[in-house]
């Protein structure tokens, strides 16, 4: 079991994020991205017997990592239902700190059966919750050309999105695209040797975001932190790509996702948060060397007013 915990996911910016939570004794914390439980176990180490920690995860695999600790409550759910569950447990508006590490667990990329990585062949799945919802294969086989182009352009930031969507639609007319191998074969004309990995990473990211409705879920969760955190409560978020980071940055600085700042009579920006770190925190060179998957991570910390 211990080996599973260590290999599931290496927590990114562990010390920096825990420092950002400003853990106090007898307080209530939420880890909305439980995963391998790395951040949660460290939070529990710093909490006294009166403290409480809630961990959210919709992935059945994450349940193998639940710590046997009476202070920990596991919530088997997407974090977009944060407020409902906190209200159910009677702590809405009482939470002292909330952590969201938005990265996909190493476990998912390394499990060939989940379909998150182009390094393996297997089902084109990509669902975080394998019990429900459409797969990446469903999307590439059923979405209209226009809808596919939007997914690749908006979530993968691919300039060739329209041409890629057109090729997918033409190909699926004669053969269903069911596996990672099938998909890689279809998009081969776009993957020149010099940019192959980057293109594949962007295309897979786009499908994964669409499959799991990640952007909308993130917005819903962030808005609900205002009902869940108490005044002075900390919000600590680690992002891994520009789409996520833009949403988080705008929300923390202005209280909305467009980044439109409203000012009071005296010219002060009206926002529900006070930034704890005005300058974004990134991993050290040592951490990137130790864990290359941390290289794109950005940490932002704010305190609810």
Q: How many residues does the chain have?
A: 305
Q: Is 194 annotated as a binding residue?
A: no
Q: What does DSSP assign to residue 104? A: P
Q: Is 61 annotated as a binding residue?
A: no
Q: Is 285 annotated as a binding residue?
A: no
Give the relative orientation of helices 214-228 and 242-254 as an angle to the nearest 10 degrees.
30
Give the relative orientation of helices 196-211 and 145-154 as an angle to the nearest 10 degrees.
110
Q: Is 79 annotated as a binding residue?
A: yes
CA–CA dist 148, 208 (Å, integer): 13
Q: Are 305 and 231 in contact (CB under 8 A)?
A: yes
Q: Is 101 annotated as a binding residue?
A: yes
Nearest 5 degrees, angle CA 259-CA 209-CA 114? 155
Within 10 angstroms of residue 159's Cβ, the number of other Cβ atoms is 11
Q: Are 107 and 7 in contact (CB under 8 A)?
A: yes
Q: Is 69 annotated as a binding residue?
A: no
CA–CA dist 51, 31 (Å, integer): 14
| End-to-end CA, the chain | 41
- Return the SS3 of 297: coil
Report CA dihedral (74, 243, 114, 13) to the nearest 10 degrees: -60
CA–CA dist 148, 286 (Å, integer): 39
Q: Is 48 annotated as a binding residue?
A: no
Binding site: residue ranges? 37-39, 57, 79, 101, 108
Binding site for S-adenosyl-L-methionine: residue ranges? 37-39, 57, 79, 101, 108
């Amino acid at each position: 079991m211990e080996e599973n915990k260590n290999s599931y996911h290496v927590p990114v910016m562990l010390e920096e994020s825990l420092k950002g939570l400003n853990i106090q004794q007898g307080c209530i914390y939420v880890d909305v991205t439980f995963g391998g439980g790395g951040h949660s176990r460290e939070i529990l180490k710093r909490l006294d017997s009166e403290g409480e920690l809630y961990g959210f995860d919709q992935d059945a695999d994450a349940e193998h990592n639940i710590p046997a600790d009476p202070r920990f409550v596991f919530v088997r759910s997407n974090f977009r239902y944060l407020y409902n569950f906190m209200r159910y447990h009677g702590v809405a508006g009482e939470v002292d700190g909330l952590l969201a590490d938005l990265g996909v667990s190493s476990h998912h990329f390394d499990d060939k059966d989940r379909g998150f990585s182009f390094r393996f062949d297997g089902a084109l799945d990509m669902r975080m919750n394998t019990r429900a919802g459409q797969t990446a294969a469903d999307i590439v086989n059923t979405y209209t050309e226009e809808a596919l182009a939007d997914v690749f352009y908006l979530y993968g930031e691919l300039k060739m999105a329209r041409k890629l969507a057109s090729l997918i639609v033409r190909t699926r007319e004669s053969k269903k695209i069911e596996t990672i191998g099938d998909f890689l074969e279809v998009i081969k004309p776009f993957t020149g040797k010099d940019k192959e990995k980057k293109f594949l990473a962007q295309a897979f990211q786009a499908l994964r975001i669409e499959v799991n409705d990640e952007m909308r879920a993130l917005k819903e969760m962030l808005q609900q932190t205002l009902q869940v955190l108490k005044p002075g409560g900390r919000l600590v978020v680690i992002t891994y790509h520009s789409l996520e980071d833009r949403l988080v940055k705008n929300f923390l600085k202005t209280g909305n996702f467009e980044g439109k700042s409203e000012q009071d009579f005296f010219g002060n920006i009206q926002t529900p948060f006070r930034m704890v770190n005005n300058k974004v925190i990134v991993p050290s060179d040592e951490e990137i060397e130790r864990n290359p998957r941390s290289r794109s991570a950005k940490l932002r910390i704010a305190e609810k007013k």
